[in-house]
Amino acid sequence: MSIITLDKVGLLINNQHILQNITLTIEENTLIGIAGPSGSGKSSLLRLLNLLISPTSGTIFYHNKNIMDYNPMKLRQEIGYVLQKPYLFDGTVLDNLEYPYYLHGLKVDKEEIASFLEKVHIPLSYASKTRHELSGGEQQRIAFIRSLLIKPKVLLLDEITAALDENTTILLENFINDLHKHSQITVIFVTHNSSQLHRLAQKVIYIEKGQVNIFADTEKYFAAKENSNE
């Protein structure tokens, strides 16, 4: 079943076509990788899906309803978003992790917080640290689990492993795979890492100059790429 559909979506900023005529359907419970050159519009597409910006043409549907008709807070409870540069606010790690529950009027689940910290190999004792006492990679892992605690149906990940070492990258990839297997989540991730795309994506959206050039199963995408390089 489709969860997100884009119908001729365009984004025009200062007379520049950032995205043009994007039409695609994303099925529920799939892992989608977005690839493409720098400045091609990948992050802009994620921002549109999270209602941080609005399309200037066309329509985006979430569960067959125009996303512009959703309450942004309600939509963001279902569609989580993690930025490349993690943003943790002042306060402790625990404050950061409890915040999504308060924001959406839910009961804080301390056991869940502890189990997620364990899954991303952050000791429980770090709960009382502030972001200034954490490495960039630790902040990224905390921002990542913060987006998951309220159980989004869709997760948008913008190059979240770009600044991480290989072991931590694989740790997060395994986490995403497990989550996808057990929680029926749809994950849409931007990456410049072609091995990661191969390891993680079931389908690939390739964007160039604001347009979707390829939307295909990962194997087909890599086969087509190999052919074009010959």
| Binding region for ligand ATP (CB under 6 A) | 13-14, 18, 36, 38-44
| Cβ 60 to ligand ATP shortest distance, Å | 15
Residues 2/27, Cβ–Cβ less than 8 Å: yes
| Cβ 43 to ligand ATP shortest distance, Å | 3
Residue among 83 and 179 whose Cβ is closer to ligand ATP: 83
Residue among 41 and 137 whose Cβ is closer to ligand ATP: 41
| Cβ 230 to ligand ATP shortest distance, Å | 26
Cβ-Cβ contacts under 8 Å for 152 (sequence gap 6 or more) = 77, 78, 79, 80, 185
Pairing of strands 57-62, 211-217: unpaired
Residue among 43 and 77 whose Cβ is closer to ligand ATP: 43
Pairing of strands 154-158, 79-82: parallel
Quote the distance between the C-alpha of residue 64 and its chain's center.
20
Six-digit token pair at 38? 């720098």
Residue among 16 and 227 whose Cβ is closer to ligand ATP: 16
Backbone φ, ψ for residue 82 (5° rounding): -120, 125
Pairwise CA distance, residues 180 & 198, whole Å: 16
| Cβ 139 to ligand ATP shortest distance, Å | 19
| Cβ 14 to ligand ATP shortest distance, Å | 6
| Axis crossing angle, helix 136-148 with helix 166-183, rounded to the nearest 10 | 0
Residue among 40 and 140 whose Cβ is closer to ligand ATP: 40
